[in-house]
């Protein structure tokens, strides 16, 4: 390229950049956010009183794009919520966007803090959704207590000329509600079947609901009862993260502080792709070249969960709906990965609670004497692991257990539920067992579980093609090894619509 031609291209680029800056800087009424009422307003609903500060509103008229640092130096909009009653008050805060907005909220950033320690951090408004959406989860005020919130909102520094002359209006909505309203757990447990009900003698309606399962004490858990969906196609479909997920059941969950409560456990209906459980070798922290079967620092864990953003490969990409590079294949192999559509969105993240997951393993499941589903339940909650491994983990996104798969069968006419539950899940089951198991997915060949193998540095894999559970190398070198994330939802989640069928899945509300 000659020097004259190169100079011309540079001049054109500079002219375009200057034009963009000039247009944005000289624009007027670029962004307007209005809050109803230009004086101090006090609203009371039930036992909650909300005070909006006078003259403390966000004014984004004649504003240019700004950095996050600049945005947080603007004057915030302040409002105070007070509990005027003598019982606990429950509320959440949301934004309600004007239907006539012409500026997309993808151009906006915000931060919400409170004087009792809440801090959303800097977030894109579009991360919450559009229309009306929560910007805080459920919060509680004890009698006579109050909390003051500060909301900053600004035009993103990266906004381009398409934001020119557009308008955005929104208002803050504080919603009070009755905590005694039935939760999703309450709603589903009201329809649960007794443990001794014979599946083949149950009505069609009963077959669609959960079954009761009693479990003995294990090394890590006391005597427990949980409730699970079983059979070929129960009514356990739920919309979560704008996707179809399935409810495994209701379980007693420890939130890591010792507090235990019954919560929904759900699994994504489709795989998010094929990634390594862990593919470290001896140069990157494993004892051998086949990976490391410790979920606490597994690469798949870091991909699925928050707080690993500092990892340049895979770190929290699924949790943050990001894209980049992920581990897949043997010996630290990586691939490109994109979770912008399949990753977790803000609303879904707010529905997931911290949970204590059990990481016990086993090497004794070679026969019906030690390989039944009930044995796996005990192994998973035991303390037998290979080498130096953790026996539990506190986190948000995990995988299913082998026992989740085993307990989901209803059996069939020839080989019934009792037969299936008394057959080792290491071996190929009769078709009555896996074809009448809603967790069996013949569309994928193999799928990860969370449980490690205790004999050596491998983990346990659920093989869809044969309907069995088997040991497998941690690196997942075969690219068809699938990942279906599993989460425990918060206890306050409610069902607001749907009947759980595939055509009318449950709709959840935080």
Task: Answer whether 309's CB lies under 8 Å from 323's CB.
Answer: no
> Can you tell me the mean pLDDT for 316-327?
96
Give residue-wise pLDDT tens across range 194-204. Answer: 999 999 999 99
Give residue-wise pLDDT tens across range 448-502. Answer: 888 888 766 666 766 655 556 766 655 444 445 889 999 999 999 999 889 999 9
In Å, what is the CA distance from 468 to each residue of 189, 247, 275, 416? 30, 21, 20, 17
DSSP 196-227: T--GGGS-HHHHTSEEEEEE---SS--SEEEE
pLDDT for position 21: 26
Tell if the pTM clears 0.85, that is, is over it. no
Q: Which residues partner with 119 through β-bridges?
A: 113
CATH architecture of residue range(s) 26-177: Sandwich (2.60)
Give residue-wise pLDDT tens across range 226-276. Answer: 999 999 999 999 999 999 999 999 999 999 888 899 999 999 999 999 999
Question: What are the domain boundaries of the chain?
Answer: 26-177, 181-510
Q: Which residues contact 510 (CB under 8 A, 6 or more apart)?
A: 92, 134, 137, 138, 347, 350, 351, 490, 492, 493
Give residue-wise pLDDT tens across range 94-114. Answer: 888 878 888 888 888 999 999
Q: Which residues contact 391 (CB under 8 A, 6 or more apart)?
A: 220, 358, 359, 360, 382, 383, 385
CB atoms within 10 A of CB 195: 11
Question: How many Å apart are CA 365 and CA 379, to the nearest integer?
Answer: 10
- φ and ψ at residue 174, rounded to 5 degrees: -105, 120
Burial label for 66, CB within 10 Å (0-12, 13-18, 19+), is middle
Furthest C-alpha separation in the chain: 87
User: Containing H/E element for 236?
Assistant: none
Q: Does residue 27 carry a pLDDT above 90?
A: no
Q: Does residue 157 carry a pLDDT above 60?
A: yes
Question: How many Å apart are CA 436 and CA 126, to the nearest integer?
Answer: 41
> Can you tell me the mean pLDDT for 163-171?
79
Residue with tokens 């009318």: 504
DSSP secondary-structure letter at 231? B
Helix (H, G, I), strand (E, B) or coil at 446: strand
């Amino acid at each position: 390229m000659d020097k004259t031609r190169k100079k011309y291209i540079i001049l054109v680029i500079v002219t375009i950049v200057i034009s963009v800056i000039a247009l944005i800087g000289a624009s007027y009424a670029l962004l307007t956010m209005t809050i109803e009422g230009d004086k101090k307003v006090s609203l009371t609903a039930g036992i909650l009183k909300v005070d909006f500060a006078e003259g403390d509103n966000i004014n984004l008229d004649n504003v240019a794009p700004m950095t996050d640092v600049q945005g947080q130096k603007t004057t915030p909009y302040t409002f105070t919520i007070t509990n005027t009653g003598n019982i606990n008050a429950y509320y959440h805060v949301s934004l309600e966007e004007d239907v006539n907005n012409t500026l997309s909220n993808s151009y906006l950033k915000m931060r919400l803090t409170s004087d009792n320690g809440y801090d959303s951090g800097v977030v894109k408004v579009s991360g919450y959704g559009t229309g009306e959406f929560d910007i805080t989860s459920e919060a509680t005020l004890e009698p006579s207590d109050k909390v003051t919130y500060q909301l900053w909102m600004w035009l993103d520094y990266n906004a381009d000329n398409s934001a020119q002359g557009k308008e955005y209006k929104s208002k803050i909505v504080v919603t009070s509600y009755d905590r005694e309203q039935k939760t999703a757990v309450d709603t589903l447990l009201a329809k649960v079947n007794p443990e001794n009900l014979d599946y083949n003698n149950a009505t069609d309606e009963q077959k669609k609901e959960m079954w009761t399962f009693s479990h003995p004490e294990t090394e890590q858990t006391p005597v427990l009862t949980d409730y699970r969906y079983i059979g070929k196609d129960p009514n356990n479909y739920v919309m979560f993260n704008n996707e179809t997920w399935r409810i495994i059941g209701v379980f007693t969950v420890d939130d890591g502080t010792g507090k235990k409560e019954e919560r929904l456990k759900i699994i994504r209906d489709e795989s998010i792709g094929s990634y390594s459980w862990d593919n470290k070798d001896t140069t990157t922290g494993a004892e051998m070249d086949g990976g490391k079967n410790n979920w606490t620092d597994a690469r798949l864990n870091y991909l699925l969960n928050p707080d690993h953003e500092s990892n340049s490969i895979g770190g929290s990409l699924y949790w943050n709906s990001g894209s980049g590079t992920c581990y897949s294949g043997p010996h630290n192999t990586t691939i490109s990965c994109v979770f912008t559509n399949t990753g977790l969105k803000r609303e879904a993240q707010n529905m997931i609670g911290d949970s204590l997951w059990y990481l016990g393993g086993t090497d004794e499941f070679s026969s019906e004497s030690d390989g039944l589903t009930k044995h796996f339940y005990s192994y998973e909650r035991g303390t037998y692991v290979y080498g130096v491994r953790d026996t539990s983990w506190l986190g948000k996104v995990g995988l299913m257990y082998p026992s989740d798969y085993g307990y989901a069968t209803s059996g069939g006419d020839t080989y019934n539920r009792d037969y299936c539950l008394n057959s080792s899940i290491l071996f190929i089951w009769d078709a009555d067992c896996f074809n009448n198991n809603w967790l069996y997915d013949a569309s994928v060949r193999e799928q990860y579980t969370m449980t490690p193998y205790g004999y050596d540095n491998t983990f346990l894999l659920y093989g869809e093609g044969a309907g069995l559970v088997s040991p497998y190398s941690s690196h997942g070198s075969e690219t068809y090894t699938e990942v279906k994330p599993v989460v425990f939802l918060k206890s306050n989640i409610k069902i607001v619509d749907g009947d759980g069928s595939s055509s009318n899945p449950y709709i959840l509300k935080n």
